[in-house]
């Protein structure tokens, strides 16, 4: 006799107990602490904050630990927490021109006000595994600038002074910046929402699309005008006060791509821009975002839409890794009711096919 | 309840529930129309019922009795998980009995027992747009709905007939609601389509990842698309349920061995158990004396 499978509840409970066991691993190895993750796996924490859209290093570290290092799972944990938080208001736009800079490079100018500053980068390291790191070895104290330069203007502001490059642009009078976490997206999007989606979009997905634009699928002749990493102040306007309140500082990475544009009968030739801004330190993500942003401006700039990276609905609908992973992995859920329906149809069609085959061979025999 | 102190009744905050209820009211006012809503990230993955869970969370109250099914069964893992979620966050009564439930959240099936006035059936929907596989762009499909331009769907069904001799859609079979909107019934087998027509229950559809809610109010006309010479037909099974002997219920095929042996049993576990309790027997069920022991 067939007994319908019962005990899903017990199975789930046991699976989760096993998961917790595997997460902890060998008990003779000390458990990893959140401050260790924050300090020593800082770029993992940054990615979780960026794509989780929540700036909190400790929560991100907790998510990394809970997810056993699975980044998308950690991002999902942070998102599901973030969505329950009340909104007190929207901060003023951060002023990256006043950033406390840790790294700043421009690929378009040899030198510029504020200087080039390599900062903590993997660039120019030789990718040789370092056996010394396997042990706890003392680390040298890094050199620091004696005094910070008075001003480090953004490259786009330098180029913008003589109209060589398009300006930052303004939202139309009276329009409010959208919030994709509070309103459903409706295509076509304005650039504010598109940039929000890109900023929380999957690093790998955007990297691949950005790469495709370099290989000829919507080529935009990009130059890394400037990449800067550092801390910016977050300010909130409070109704009772006539000055903005500083809430704190966050680390961000900003990328300004400078791209070619021919100009038109109405406009003189001018460089165009693609923009990337993400939480934490991630040049790869901010550069990919800037390339994708530029490609997605095709409609606005009157360019032919020929490549995937230019297709707003395609890119934005598929850039969110929490959505993507959920729907791809939902194929693990039972589908046997639908499969039964398909089985039934295929069986019926096969039977009809056999009958037809039989009829044809009968006719052939008769003819012979 | 201490561990839950930080979450509201049924998880969602009241502002979010209000937003979802507004979308639901709009959906009820325009049967079959997909209402965009600001779907939230839920603590379960997109594609695993987040739309249905948000709809249920928005309509459930402390006095409700909830039933959750997946593939017609109350004991499939995801149904167990969603039921446990509402027990934990809303502390509501749960049941496996269709007749005892005030809200039934479902994935892929409509219960066999006829629903009653006052009951709400909440569907989990993966792809709410019936035209999506004909036209991937939302900007285009919204236009097609607005203009009632459904020719493409009929062409697709016609091409099925030309190629296979049948309409080759067996689940998520498109319906027209109240003579206006073509609607995706979610991936239920077409066997269940007739149950949607003139149902006394309220039917709500939630698609979390795609951020859409739609509805069929009670006693609404729901017609499966077809042609005069190829009328809509539901699946029929050549044998009754092996456990309860039911004819005319939707059956799952259970593989018994690796030599092609299989048996067919009701996909609706409550329906099947209820029939067995009333003494109905199929050819593979234990005899009543054994069962009693």
Contact check, Cβ <8 Å, A323/B46: yes
Residue B1 has pLDDT above 90, yes or no: no
For chain A, what is the HEC assignment? CCCCCCCHHHHHHHHHHHHHHHHHCCCCCCCCCHHHHHHHCHHHHHHHHHHHCCCCHHHHHHHHHHCCCCHHHHHHHHHHHHCCCCCCCCCCCCCHHHCEEEEEECCCCCCCCCCCECCCCCCCCCCCCCHHHHCCCCCCCCCCCCCCCCCCCCHHHHHHCCCCECCCCCCCCCCCCCCCCCCCCCCCCCHHHHHHHHHCCCHHHHHHHHHHHHCCCCCCCCEEEEEEEEEEEEEECCCCCCCCEEEEEEEEEEEEEEECCCCCCCCCCCEEEEEEEEECCCHHHHHHHHHHHHHHCCCCCCCCCCCHHHCHHHHHHHCCHHHHHHHHHHHHCCCHHHHHHHHHHHHHHHHHHHHHHHHHHHHHHHHC
Q: Hey, where are the domains in chain B?
A: 2-137+170-223, 251-292
pLDDT of B2 reads 42
* Active-site annotation holds for B244: yes
pLDDT, mean over chain A = 91
Using a CB-CB distance cutoff of 8 angstroms, which residues of chain A are in contact with residue B40? Answer: 83
CB distance B166–A349 less than 8 Å? yes
Residues present in chain B in total: 293
- Residue A342 has its nearest CB partner, among B139, B164, B170, at B170
Residue-wise pLDDT tens digits, B41-83:
999 999 999 999 999 999 999 999 999 999 999 999 999 999 9
Q: One of B51, B52, B241, B282 is an active-site residue; which one?
A: B241
Q: Is B248 a catalytic residue?
A: no
Q: Which pLDDT score is estimated for A358?
A: 83
Neighbours of A111 (CB within 10 A): 8
Question: Among A65-79, A274-288, B1-15, B250-264, which stretch is predicted with the lowest mean pLDDT?
Answer: B1-15
Give B141's contacts in chain A (Cβ within 8 Å).
none
How many residues belong to chain A?
A: 368
Q: Is the pLDDT of residue B289 over 60?
A: no
Pairwise CA distance, residues A260 & A267, whole Å = 14
d(CA B180, CA B105): 26
> Running DSSP on this structure, what letter comes out for residue B232?
-
pLDDT, tens digit, for every residue of A97-133?
A: 999 999 999 998 888 888 899 999 999 999 999 999 9
**B52 shares contact with chain A (CB less than 8 Å):** no
Which member of B42, B76, B188 has the closest CB to residue A80? B42
pLDDT tens by residue, B80-106 = 999 999 999 999 999 999 999 999 999
Partner-chain contact A322 B46, CB within 8 Å? yes
Tokens of A173: 């009078």
Between residues 301 and 320 of chain A, which touch chain B (CB distance below 8 Å)?
Answer: 313, 317
Q: pLDDT tens digits for B223-270? A: 999 999 999 999 999 999 999 999 999 999 998 988 888 999 999 999
CB-CB contact of B202 with B120 (8 Å): yes
Mean pLDDT of A3-24: 82
| CA distance linking residue B26 with residue B31, whole number of Å | 9
Q: What is the pLDDT of residue B290?
A: 46
Angle ∠(B172,B176,B180) on CA atoms, nearest 5:
145
In angstroms, the CA A199 to CA A278 distance is 6
**Average pLDDT value over all residues in chain B:** 93
Q: Kindly list the residues from chain B whose CB atom is less than 8 angstroms away from the CB atom of residue A8.
A: 75-77, 79-80
For residue B2, is it left (φ>0), alpha (ψ between -120 and 50) or beta? alpha
Q: Best of B11, B41, B186, B209 to disrupt the A interface by mutation (most A CBs within 10 Å)? A: B41
pLDDT beyond 70 at A6: no
% of chain A residues with pLDDT over 90: 70
**B32 an active-site residue?**
yes
* pLDDT score of B286: 67
B191 and A341: CB-CB below 8 Å? Answer: yes
- Closest among B282, B285, B250, B7 to B106, alpha carbons compared: B250
The answer to whether the beta carbons of residues B222 and B177 sit under 8 Å apart is: yes
- Average of pLDDT values for A325-334? 94
Whole-angstrom distance, CA of residue B216 vs CA of residue B196: 8
Superfamily of domain B2-137+170-223: Bacterial phosphonate metabolism protein PhnH (3.40.50.11310)
Distance, in angstroms, between A87 CA and closest chain B CA? 11
Whole-number pLDDT of residue B46: 93
Q: In chain A, which residue's Cα lies nearest the Cα of B284?
A: A1
Contact A4 B269 (CB under 8 A): yes
Q: Do A313 and B209 touch (CB under 8 A)?
A: no
- Give B166→chain A minimum CA distance, Å: 8
Put simply, the answer to whether B171 touches A330 (Cβ < 8 Å) is: no
Stronger pLDDT, A160 or B201, i.e. the higher one: B201
Residues 74-103 of A with CB under 8 A from B: 76, 79-80, 82-84, 86
- Where residue B117 falls among pLDDT bands split at 50, 70, 90? very high
Find the closest chain B residue to A353 by CA distance: B164
Cα gap A56→A45, rounded to integer Å: 9
Q: What integer is the mean pLDDT of A68-97?
A: 93
Q: Do B81 and A12 touch (CB under 8 A)?
A: yes
pLDDT value, residue B287: 56
Peptide bond between residue A171 and the one before it cis (omega within 30 degrees of 0): no
Mean pLDDT of B137-162: 95
């Amino acid at each position: 006799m067939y007994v319908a499978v019962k005990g899903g509840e017990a199975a789930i409970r046991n699976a989760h107990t096993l998961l917790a066991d595997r997460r902890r691993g060998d008990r003779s190895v000390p458990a990893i602490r959140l401050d260790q993750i924050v300090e020593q796996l800082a770029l993992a924490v940054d990615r979780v904050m960026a794509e989780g859209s929540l700036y909190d290093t400790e929560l991100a570290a907790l998510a990394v630990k809970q997810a056993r290092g699975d980044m998308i799972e950690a991002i999902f944990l942070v998102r599901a927490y973030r969505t329950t938080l009340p909104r007190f208001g929207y901060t003023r736009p951060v002023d990256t021109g006043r950033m406390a800079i840790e790294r700043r490079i421009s690929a378009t100018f040899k030198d510029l006000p504020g200087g080039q500053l390599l900062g903590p980068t993997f660039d120019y390291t030789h990718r040789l595994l370092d056996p010394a790191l396997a042990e706890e070895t003392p680390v040298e104290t890094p050199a620091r600038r004696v005094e910070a330069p008075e001003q480090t203007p953004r490259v786009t502001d330098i180029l913008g002074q003589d109209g060589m490059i398009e300006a930052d642009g303004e939202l139309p009078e009276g329009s409010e910046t959208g919030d994709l976490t509070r309103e459903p997206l409706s295509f076509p999007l304005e650039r504010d929402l598109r940039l929000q989606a890109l900023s929380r979009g999957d690093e790998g997905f955007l990297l691949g699309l950005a790469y495709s634009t370099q290989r000829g699928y919507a080529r935009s002749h990009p130059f890394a005008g400037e990449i800067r990493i550092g801390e910016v102040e977050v300010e909130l306007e409070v109704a009772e006060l006539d000055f903005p309140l500083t809430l704190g500082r966050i680390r961000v990475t900003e990328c300004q791509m400078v791209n070619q544009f021919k100009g038109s009968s109405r406009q003189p030739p001018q460089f165009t821009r693609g923009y990337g801004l993400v939480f934490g330190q991630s040049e790869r993500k901010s550069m990919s975002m800037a390339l994708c942003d530029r490609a997605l401006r095709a409609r606005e700039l009157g360019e032919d839409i020929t490549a995937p990276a230019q297709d707003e609905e395609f890119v934005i609908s598929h850039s969110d890794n929490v959505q993507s992973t959920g729907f791809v992995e939902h194929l693990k859920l039972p589908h046997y009711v639908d499969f039964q329906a398909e089985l039934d149809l295929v069986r019926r069609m096969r039977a009809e096919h056999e009958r037809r085959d039989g009829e044809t061979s009968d006719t052939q025999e008769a003819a012979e | 309840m201490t561990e839950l102190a930080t979450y509201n009744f049924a998880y969602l905050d009241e502002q979010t529930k209000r937003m979802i209820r507004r979308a639901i009211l709009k959906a009820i006012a325009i049967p079959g129309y997909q209402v965009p809503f600001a779907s939230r990230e839920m603590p379960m993955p997109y594609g695993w019922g987040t739309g249905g869970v948000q709809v249920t969370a928005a309509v459930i109250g402390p006095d409700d009795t909830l039933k959750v099914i997946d593939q017609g069964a109350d004991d499939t893992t995801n149904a167990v998980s969603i039921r446990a979620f509402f027990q934990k966050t809303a502390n509501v009564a749960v049941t496996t009995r269709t007749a005892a439930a005030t809200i039934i959240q479902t994935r892929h099936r409509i219960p066999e027992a006829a629903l009653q006035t006052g009951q709400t059936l909440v569907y989990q929907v993966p792809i709410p747009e019936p035209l999506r596989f004909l036209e991937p762009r939302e900007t285009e499909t919204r236009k097609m709905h607005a203009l009632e331009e459904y020719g493409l769907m009929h062409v697709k069904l016609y091409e099925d007939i030309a190629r296979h001799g049948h309409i080759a859609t067996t689940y998520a079979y498109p319906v027209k609601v109240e003579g206006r909107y073509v609607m995706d019934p979610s991936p239920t087998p077409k066997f269940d389509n007739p149950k949607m027509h003139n149902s006394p229950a309220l039917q709500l559809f939630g698609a979390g990842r795609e951020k859409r809610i739609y509805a069929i109010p009670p006693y609404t006309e729901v017609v499966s698309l077809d042609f005069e010479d190829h009328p809509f037909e539901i699946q029929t099974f050549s044998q009754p349920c092996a456990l309860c002997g039911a004819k005319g219920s939707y059956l799952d095929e259970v593989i018994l061995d690796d030599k092609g042996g299989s048996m067919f049993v009701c996909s609706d576990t409550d329906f099947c158990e209820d029939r067995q309790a009333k003494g109905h027997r199929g050819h593979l069920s234990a005899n009543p004396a054994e069962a009693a022991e």
